[in-house]
Structure 1
Amino acid sequence: MKIAVLGAGNMGISFSRSFLKYELIKPQNLHLITRNESKKSKLKESFPDSAISTFEEIKNLEADLIIIAVKPQDFTFVAENLPFKISEKSLVLSIMAGISIEKIQKLLNHKFVVRAMPNSPTLLGMGITGYTAADGIYFSELMNVERLLNSTGRSVYLEDESLLDGVTALSGSGPAYFYYIIDAMIKAGTEMGIDENLSKLFVKQTMLGAYHLINNSDRSLEELIKDVASKGGTTEAALKTFDENQLKSILQKGILAAENRAKELNK
């Protein structure tokens, strides 16, 4: 399989590294394409046996799979200024937030499109990706795509494309929500007089331990909360403050705002 990646940013690079790490393709069959001439030398250092090009340098692109990894805000410009035609035999995999299959098909004049929404932990092979596909794509082709996506973590097929905007808001943007909460906890620690590095250690290890408890327990989240929040205790005091300030509602509103923004990106 020959794979071309249009847009060699963080996500395009992390996907490429995963494919090579698990030997899903040969380095010689990987082609990274960037809009920035100055990035070429650095990309060549990281991918010495793969082809590295700028968009302008390509007149004909031979690839079984073309991954569209440009920023969604840039997609219309990129699509309208491609100096090459996408072969009918190629499968297009978009990892752009918000851009619908229909819009990709229209702007690229190409009907075989798979749309996926990964998240940043793919950089460590611990991401999760929701994906869906246009009509007319063979099951065997989808299985090949899923095998590639699974090299970056886990993947979930969705029949309803409209759910991908929700996936974008929930897991695509999700890591930032956790970082935001962790940052608030660390700053609360320093305000209480705990050294910043020590505060980071306590918070990060607490987060890690809590994740493993959730992952290895059949108890509900409500039950796990009750295990920590004894009546009249310190945890109850914190949770009461969260509820009084509608923290849960604020978080939910933020996630719904992210979904709305994903929908706007397609307009």
Structure 2
Amino acid sequence: MKIAILGAGNMGLSFSKSFLKYELIKPENLHLITRNKSRISKIKEEFPYSEISIFEEVRELDADLIIIAVKPQDFRYVAENIQFSLKENQMVLSIMAGIKIEKIQTLLNHPLVVRAMPNSPTLLGMGITGYTSAEGISFSQLINIERLLNSTGRSVYLEDEDQLDGVTALSGSGPAYFYYIIDAMIKAGVEMGIEENLSKLFVKQTMLGAYHLINNSEKNLEELIKDVASKGGTTEAALKTFEENSFKDILKSGILNAEKRAKELNG
């Protein structure tokens, strides 16, 4: 399989590294395309055996799969300035937030489109990607796409494309919510007199341990909270403050606004 990645940013390069790591493609069958000329030398250092091109200079594209990894705000410009024509049997995989399959098909004048929403832990092969496809794509073609996506972590096929905006808000943007909460916890530790690096250690290890407890316990989240929050204790004092300030509602509202923005990106 030959793969071209249109948009050699963080996500495009992390996908490339996963494909090569698991030997799903040969380095010489990977074509990375960027609009940023200043990044060419750095990309060549990381991918010495792959083809690297400037977007405006690509006149032909020999690839079985074209992955569109540009920012959604840049897609219209990219679609209107493509110098090559898409061949009938070429597959397109979009990892752009918000841009629906129908719009991609229209702007590219090409029917074979799969839309996916990964998240940043794909950099470590620990991401999760929701994906869906246009009509007319065969089961074997979807299996090939899933195989590629699974090299970056886990993937889940969704029948309803509208759910991808929710996936974008929940898992695509999700890592930033955790970083935000972790940052607040670390700063609280510093305010209590704990040295910053030590505060980071306590918070990060706490998060890691809590994750493993969720994964390995038969208890639900409410029961796990009760296990920590003894009556009249310190945890209960913190949780009471969260409830009084509607922290859960604020978090949900933010996630719903992220979904709203994902829908707007298709406009």
- TM-score for both structures, normalised by structure 2: 0.99
Residues in 1 aligned to 2:266 and 2:193: alpha-carbon distance in whole angstroms: 47
Cα deviation, 1:86-143, whole Å, max 9, x if unaligned, reads 1111000000000000000000000000000000000000000000000000100000
Residues in 2 aligned to 1:122 and 1:221: alpha-carbon distance in whole angstroms: 26
Residues in 2 aligned to 1:257 and 1:154: alpha-carbon distance in whole angstroms: 25
Q: Is 1:124 aligned to residue 143 of structure 2?
A: no
Q: How far is the alpha carbon of 1:38 from its aligned partner?
A: 1.6
| Identity, % of aligned positions | 81
Q: How far is the alpha carbon of 1:147 from its aligned partner?
A: 0.3
- AA of the residue aligned to 1:181: I
> What aligned pairs does 1:1-267 form with structure 2 within 5 A after superposition?
1-267=1-267
| Deviant stretches of 4+, over 2 Å | none
Q: Match of 1:146, SS? A: helix
- AA of the residue aligned to 2:109: N
- AA of the residue aligned to 1:49: Y
Q: How many residues align?
A: 267
Residues in 1 aligned to 2:187 and 2:132: alpha-carbon distance in whole angstroms: 40
Q: How far is the alpha carbon of 1:199 from its aligned partner?
A: 0.3
Asked whether the 8 Å contact 2:40–2:52 carries over to 1, the reply is: yes
Residues in 1 aligned to 2:220 and 2:38: alpha-carbon distance in whole angstroms: 51
- AA of the residue aligned to 1:48: P
What runs of 5+ residues in structure 2 fail to find an aligned partner?
none
Residues in 2 aligned to 1:57 and 1:253: alpha-carbon distance in whole angstroms: 44
- AA of the residue aligned to 1:177: Y
Residues in 2 aligned to 1:98 and 1:215: alpha-carbon distance in whole angstroms: 30
Residues in 2 aligned to 1:39 and 1:83: alpha-carbon distance in whole angstroms: 21
Once the two structures are overlaid, the 10-residue window that deviates more, 92-101 or 79-88, is 79-88
Residues in 1 aligned to 2:210 and 2:54: alpha-carbon distance in whole angstroms: 45
Q: Match of 1:142, SS? A: helix
Asked whether the 8 Å contact 2:111–2:134 carries over to 1, the reply is: yes
- AA of the residue aligned to 1:251: L
